Amino acid sequence: MATSELLDAPPVAAAPRVSLLTGLRPTGSLTLANVVGAVQPLLRRQALEELPILLFVADLHALTDNEPSAVAGQVRSTVADLLSLGIDPSRTNLFVQSALTHEVNELAGYLARLVRVSELLRQPSLKDRLRAEQGAEQASAALLMYPVLMAADILIHGAAAVPVGEDQLAHLELARLLARRFNASYGVTLVEPQPLPGPALRILALRGERKMSKSEPETALLLDDSAASASRKIASCQTAVEGEMSPHLASHLQLIASLAPAAAGDAGALVQAHLRGERVMGRFKQLFATVVIEFLAQVQARRAKLTDAEIDLVLARGTAFARDSARRTLGEARQAMRFGAAAVAAEAQA
């Protein structure tokens, strides 16, 4: 087909090619909150989805507040964590975000034309970061463009749905808005992804009022914690005064039920005794520690069996799928915009 015919052809209808897409930043060992909030729901969906699933290690996103060398050192570790938790590469395509640097940045450049700086500044996560850490005068442009890069990550694969927590919903809404604006300007090309709500979990730090985070390792349970470390952290965790429920006790109970459903009944019985005024928090902590230590031991044993060759093969297959998906979307976007005749012709001949 001639280049002029390619440019005059209507854009391809936007039908989802991927059932869902999600990513995790490689900024240290995953917490058990990451496991139950992000990974376990994905494990359950692996057996249900007909279209492919895409899971990426978001190393480019991690650069907004981490040094490149530190991020690079965590990439393979994050992949190993995900595989040891049960991510099945025959059902879930696993790849590293930076393997698609050129494709994602190209789409981000097109999308950046469709969003105003004032809209980016209203993103809740950016506003929170500026208040907590730095004013706009000191913030990097990468922080401002983070939502556009995230939108490109999502839209470039034609994902039908994206799992989101409460703190990421605004970013997905921006991606949906950019898809609508692109389609209104150039014809229906990009899939407008639907939010896939996560489980109603709020896993708190073992102490303090914040959510469990790998940025505060002494108040978090990490996948690479030793049995002694996990036991020590749980022994000093916050619970509740006899006869009262607390957010921390509810959080610990949720974590036990998610990691070891068979132990949920015993944990619930101890909480009921606690609410009757009995002094059982020592026993509750013992059960909590037993569940966590057994879970960590199983995951760490599976991880110890993984080889570099296995990880390389998983990433090679996942990257090939993701790159093909991204380049297809870019070809359709260029065609819709009537931009880059040589590029459109090259995509057609590839």
Same domain, 139 and 23: yes
Read off the CATH number of the domain in which 31 is found.
3.40.50.620
Residue (of 30, 113, 127, 123) closest to 79 by Cα position: 30
pLDDT bracket for residue 346 (50, 70, 90) = low
pLDDT of residue 132: 56
Instruction: State which amino acid sits at residue 10.
Output: P
Same domain, 149 and 230: no
Q: Residue 214 corresponds to which tokens in the numbers above?
A: 């790998």
41-51 pLDDT, tens digit per residue, is 899 888 888 88
pLDDT of residue 130: 63
Higher pLDDT residue, 200 or 65?
Answer: 65
> To the nearest whole number, what is the mean pLDDT of the chain?
87
pTM of the predicted model as reported, rounded to 2 decimal places: 0.84
pLDDT bracket for residue 267 (50, 70, 90) = very high
Answer yes or no: is 209 within a domain: no
Instruction: State which amino acid sits at residue 134.
Output: Q
pLDDT of residue 168: 74
The mean pLDDT of 43-63, rounded to a whole number, is 88
Residues 25, 61: Cα–Cα separation, whole Å: 7
pLDDT of residue 350: 57
Same domain, 158 and 63: yes
Answer yes or no: is 278 within a domain: yes
Same domain, 108 and 88: yes
Whether residue 267 contacts residue 253, with contact meaning beta carbons closer than 8 Å, is answered with yes
pLDDT bracket for residue 1 (50, 70, 90) = very low
181-234 pLDDT, tens digit per residue, is 999 999 999 999 998 876 667 899 999 989 999 889 999 999 999 999 999 999
**H/E stretch holding 265:** helix 264-275
Does residue 89 register a pLDDT over 90?
A: yes
pLDDT bracket for residue 139 (50, 70, 90) = low
In this prediction, what percent of the chain has a pLDDT beyond 70?
87
Whether residue 199 contacts residue 58, with contact meaning beta carbons closer than 8 Å, is answered with no
Residue (of 167, 176, 121, 162) closest to 18 by Cα position: 162
Host domain of residue 100: 3-201+307-349
pLDDT bracket for residue 129 (50, 70, 90) = low
Q: Residue 61 corresponds to which tokens in the numbers above?
A: 């996103």
Answer yes or no: is 207 within a domain: no
Q: Residue 244 corresponds to which tokens in the numbers above?
A: 């009262």
Same domain, 225 and 181: no
Residues 88, 38: Cα–Cα separation, whole Å: 15
Same domain, 123 and 9: yes
Residues 303, 224: Cα–Cα separation, whole Å: 10
pLDDT of residue 9: 42
pLDDT of residue 76: 94
Whether residue 325 contacts residue 54, with contact meaning beta carbons closer than 8 Å, is answered with yes
pLDDT of residue 122: 81
pLDDT of residue 11: 45
Answer yes or no: is 210 within a domain: no
Whether residue 161 contacts residue 193, with contact meaning beta carbons closer than 8 Å, is answered with yes
* C-alpha separations of 277 from 243, 264, 265, 280, 286 in Å: 4, 20, 19, 9, 19
Answer yes or no: is 256 within a domain: yes
Whether residue 303 contacts residue 295, with contact meaning beta carbons closer than 8 Å, is answered with no
Q: Where are the beta strands (DSSP E) in the chain?
A: 18-24, 53-57, 92-96, 159-164, 194-197
pLDDT of residue 344: 52
Whether residue 341 contacts residue 110, with contact meaning beta carbons closer than 8 Å, is answered with no
Does residue 8 register a pLDDT over 50?
A: no
Residues 319, 329: Cα–Cα separation, whole Å: 15
Reduce the secondary structure of 37-70 to three states and give it as a string: HHHHHHHHHHCCCCCCEEEEECHHHHCCCCCHHH
The mean pLDDT of 242-258, rounded to a whole number, is 96
Matching residue, tokens 């590029």 = 343
Count up the domains in the chain and report the number. 2
pLDDT of residue 215: 86
Answer yes or no: is 166 within a domain: yes
Sheet holding 194-197, edge to edge: 92-96, 53-57, 18-24, 159-164, 194-197
User: Looking at residue 204, what DSSP letter applies?
Assistant: B
Does residue 167 register a pLDDT over 80?
A: no
pLDDT of residue 349: 61
Same domain, 152 and 260: no
Measured in whole angstroms, the distance separating CA 258 from the mean position of its chain's CA atoms is 18
Same domain, 319 and 294: no
pLDDT of residue 197: 76
Same domain, 178 and 261: no
Same domain, 47 and 163: yes
